Amino acid sequence: MRNEGIGSWPTRRARKTPHRTALVHGDLQYSYADLHERSTRLAHGLRASGIRRGDRVAYLGPNHPAFLETLFATGMLGAVFVPLNIRLAAPEIAYQLHDCGAKALLYAPSCAELAGDGPDVTVEVGPAYEQLLADAGTDPIDEAVALDDLCLIMYTSGTTGRPKGAMLTHGNLTWNAVNVLVDHDLVADERALVSAPLFHTAGLNMLTLPVLLKGGACVLVESFDPAATLDLIERHRITFMFGVPTMFDLVARQPGWDDADLSSLRLLTCGGAPVPTSLIATYQKRGLTFLQGYGMTEASPGTLFLDAEHAVSKAGSAGVPHFFSDVRVLAPDGSPAAPGESGEVVVRGPHVSPGYWGLPEESAAAFTDGWFRTGDAARTDEDGYITIADRIKDMYISGGENVYPAEVEDALLAVAGVAECAVIGVPDEKWGEVGRAVVVPEPGVRLDPEQVLAALAGVLARYKLPKSVVLVDSLPRTASGKLRKNDIRAQHGS
């Protein structure tokens, strides 16, 4: 087989375990033989539509078998998959489609308005999609695809106010999956509940792809529902789950939590934010322990991993590097930071992106000498466990979603009557952090904070919208004119 990439996985799995269940979605259930055939048919359909090696094929929709079929089909052709975040606003989707130069877009019916006009080739997932598959052939496709070839472009919000497309190769995704297999001890009869969105790197790369590589089954859920989660665990005998702390907290607050049958659960992985000690204790009372991690889209994403054995003794830590990851914490002068000393996290490994799509200068600045500079500050203890201490960049995390203030500030400055603004993350009991906009009105203008927030609706994704607005006369700046964010946080961050 000449295809060494992700696109060959359905073929390789089908020849080993054709009758085992691969995907479950509502009443649908596909075996590995089904996944192989459907992905092959889609690849033929896309090729007949003019898709060739290197072309970008975007997908917009919630978790669904068609998402993964599109990923594998593009991989079969040597094309490039571009998953789009359905939580974004239409202008943000349009920007990403234009930026990557998408030649095709597949979208769920619920996302028709977000899809807009789209590229030349557009297919709605439903009758039109099924007809495309029915009309296509099943002859084997074996394009020569190497591990170094580009597999997908996954957009991550940029600190400069525009999102950046992290380029991930077939090798990046494969090595990340290997890291998960090694450090999570996945087994062939794994049954994973995929309620985290596939358009995010964790739901796709830390959960779904490793399970499919191992030959397990993935139960795809279009949206997270804490009450339904307990039922799904029991009904499908789920063994493996991933979520952000907020998701696990909401599940534990359900009325049926104490009596729920959780006996099938073996692996609970959590990321996106540190897991509170109280949440760890809640799950331990049910005999369950979290595996925590730290990562970023540019690393596919697994970087650090805290196993169950150290979940309590090293609580708050992000763990140690994954098996095939190298991580350093560097002092400002570039030397290794001493234990307990804060420094920048840098990571290297076969799972780390080669750079950003169409952004050579940003790529050169972030990826140096084989190391990716994360922009996150951390400290290492005497045992080598790394704790993320702060964010060198101004990014904050709301409900597991990265929010970059520069992008929100750019939108705020377009609101009538706003002269200056700064956005900071403030603590929130439910979401971990939410945005707060500190705004200077134009001279003589009386701004209504609620109207300012309303003006952003539809411009930005809901999770990016600030939850509060503080009106001030001026913002502190350095002599060079840069905002003094630390001073702003100290004054308005609580």
What does the alpha-carbon distance between residue 317 and residue 330 come to, in Å, rounded to a whole number? 17
CB 55 within 8 A of CB 100: no
Question: How many other C-beta atoms can be found within 10 angstroms of the C-beta atom of residue 382?
Answer: 7
With 0-12 / 13-18 / 19 or more C-beta atoms within 10 angstroms meaning exposed / middle / buried, residue 419 is: middle
* Six-digit token string for 91: 């202008």
CB 324 within 8 A of CB 351: yes
| Topology of domain 6-377, CATH | Rossmann fold (3.40.50)
Residue 454 exposure: Cα atoms within 13 Å on the Cβ side: 5
What does the alpha-carbon distance between residue 479 and residue 289 come to, in Å, rounded to a whole number? 50
Q: What does CATH list as the number for 396-492?
A: 3.30.300.30
Helix, strand, coil proportions of the chain in percent (round to 5)?
A: 35, 30, 40
What are the pLDDT tens digits along the chain (494 aa)?
Answer: 999 999 999 999 999 999 999 999 999 999 999 999 999 999 999 999 999 999 999 999 999 999 999 999 999 999 999 999 998 989 999 999 999 999 999 999 999 999 988 899 999 999 999 999 999 999 999 999 999 999 999 998 644 457 899 999 999 999 999 999 999 999 999 999 999 999 999 999 999 999 999 999 999 999 999 999 999 999 999 999 999 888 998 999 999 999 999 999 999 999 877 777 788 889 999 999 889 999 999 999 999 999 988 988 988 889 999 999 999 999 989 999 999 988 899 999 999 999 999 999 999 999 998 899 998 888 899 999 998 875 666 778 898 887 878 788 878 988 999 988 999 999 998 999 999 999 999 999 999 999 999 999 989 999 999 999 999 999 997 544 567 888 899 999 88
Q: Which regions of the chain carry the CATH code 3.30.300.30?
A: 396-492
* Six-digit token string for 215: 């030959």
Q: Which regions of the chain carry the CATH code 3.40.50.12780?
A: 6-377
User: What DSSP letter does each residue of 269-317 carry, written as one string?
Assistant: EE-SSPPPHHHHHHHHTTT--EEEEEE-GGGSSEEEEE-GGGTTTTTT-
